[in-house]
Amino acid sequence: MKADEACRIVSLQRRFHQSGATRCLDFRRDQLLKLKRALVEHEEDIFKALHSDLGRPDTESFFGETLFVMTEVDSALRNLSGWSRPNRVPTPLMMYPGSSLVYPEPYGVSLIIGPWNYPFQLMMAPLIGAIAAGNCAVLKPSEISEHTSSLIAGLLGEIFEPSFVAVVEGDREAVTSLLSERFDYIFYTGSAPVGRIVMEAAARHLTPSTLELGGKSPCIVDRSLHMEPVMKRIAWGKFFNAGQTCVAPDYLLVRKDLKEEVVSGLLSTIKAFYGEDPSRSRDYSRIINRRHLSRLTALLSEGKTLCGGVADEESLYLAPTLLDEVTWESPCMKEEIFGPILPVLSYDSIDDAIEEINRREKPLALYLFTEDEEIQNRVISETSSGGVCINDTIVHIGTPHLPFGGVGESGMGAYHGKATFDTFSHRKSVMRRSLVPDPAFRYPPYAKMTALFRKIMARLIQ
């Protein structure tokens, strides 16, 4: 993509936004309904594209992609009027008679850059919020998930005018060309290194941005009365989409006296989920490409492989893998794994677990399995992460009522449900006042009224 083409698209959208068409709630509602109908009509095509890119079983694509997007669009349609309504806030007594309101207004032309691991959902969810808030949008899907990128371009090209929603396909050159343009908002999902590049580009135009990144999300396992569902929920959350999930449990921190039980339980659960040979399972995804497969197999250079570790370059397969005898200095603990490798470490006390987590960058998610409320409250209050899920994994991102986002190295800003609408909305402060009464003490000369004014203010702020 050439720079002049990026400039043309942005200029086209800016003119359309300035026409005022997107400020109409009926227009926004109609566009969301178009998108919803397209999702229903093309669900099988979406599944096929995702399977071509990731070897994804349809059930995982349904729960991880299309159901999620349908939930988001339904939430926006149901709540659009309420979200768009001005919010009245208190007005100080000294400013009476008057009223104070906060108006949500669209930023304008937004840029949405998506990743390859959930290539449909992570483009559509921000788009829904951008449309609901009254913005135009330029979407840049990941070229790595090429089949889904092509599907998104075709689907959105059928239902939206490019002056409102445009899809730009291509590699780094396309991203570079887009980032050289001035957008009113940028929403990026992906890795932290590229997130820094996006922030640098945004800073040139002082463009507000949301960064949805990742990190090493810990999973603490303490004593539970029901260990079987604990094993199932950990294995499901870790190996869903072959571990290529930004909020997948990245490593286990298991209480030392439980480690043997947990390892044994996970080994049995993996076998129950995917059979003796997971490569033959219809319920297990594949790695996105050879480069990522090579990166993942390199992480197995240290530690004891308890199960898995088997890779096939031709089919992009990496078996569900448990790693024991790893340290905090092992290769698999130096970076986000983003694949089906689960290191198992142990701790003596919850104090030790909290200390180890706090030594590292703030994760996108933190998981804790315990029925001890005191430990639950301590982990919530004494650690920092994008989100916390207790006694389950990854499901906390599936509700439109909880904002989802990172903190520190794991990102900035949040979305899902109303939070997505808020992300793509500028909160404009408006005060309305009457011209009468118009007391003289606020105007020069001040000398005669200064003492009286100070007395009045002292009483008002007591």
Inter-helix orientation angle 172-179/192-204, to 10°: 30
Q: Is 212 a catalytic residue?
A: yes
Sheet strand arrangement including 185-189: 165-167, 136-140, 109-113, 185-189, 209-212, 411-412
**101 bridge partner residues:** 88, 430
Q: Looking up tokens 């986002």, which residue turns up?
A: 405
- Provide the Cα torsion 337, 395, 114, 294; round to 10°: 20
- Tell me if the bond preceding 445 is cis, omega within 30° of 0: yes
Beta strands in 374-460 (DSSP E): 387-390, 411-412, 425-433
**Dist CA 10 CA 8 (whole Å):** 6
Amino acid occupying residue 205: H
**Dist CA 247 CA 394 (whole Å):** 6
| CB contact at 8 A, 346 and 356 | no
| CB contact at 8 A, 264 and 366 | no
Q: What are the φ/ψ torsions at residue 145 (nearest 5 degrees)?
A: -90, 70
Sign of CA dihedral 347, 351, 353, 359: negative
- Provide the Cα torsion 402, 405, 407, 408; round to 10°: 180
Active-site residue identified among 60, 212, 336, 409: 212
Active-site residue identified among 246, 336, 389, 409: 246
Long-range contacts of 194-199 (CB under 8 A, 24+ apart): 195/411, 198/113
**Dist CA 383 CA 355 (whole Å):** 9
Q: Is 60 a catalytic residue?
A: no
Q: Looking up tokens 């100070």, which residue turns up?
A: 454
**Dist CA 249 CA 245 (whole Å):** 9
**407 bridge partner residues:** none
**Dist CA 215 CA 247 (whole Å):** 8
CA end-to-end distance (rounded Å), the chain: 62
**Dist CA 117 CA 141 (whole Å):** 11
DSSP codes of every residue in 10-76: HHHHHHHHHTTGGG-HHHHHHHHHHHHHHHHHTHHHHHHHHHHHH---HHHHIIIIIHHHHHHHHHH
Q: Which residues are catalytic?
A: 212, 246
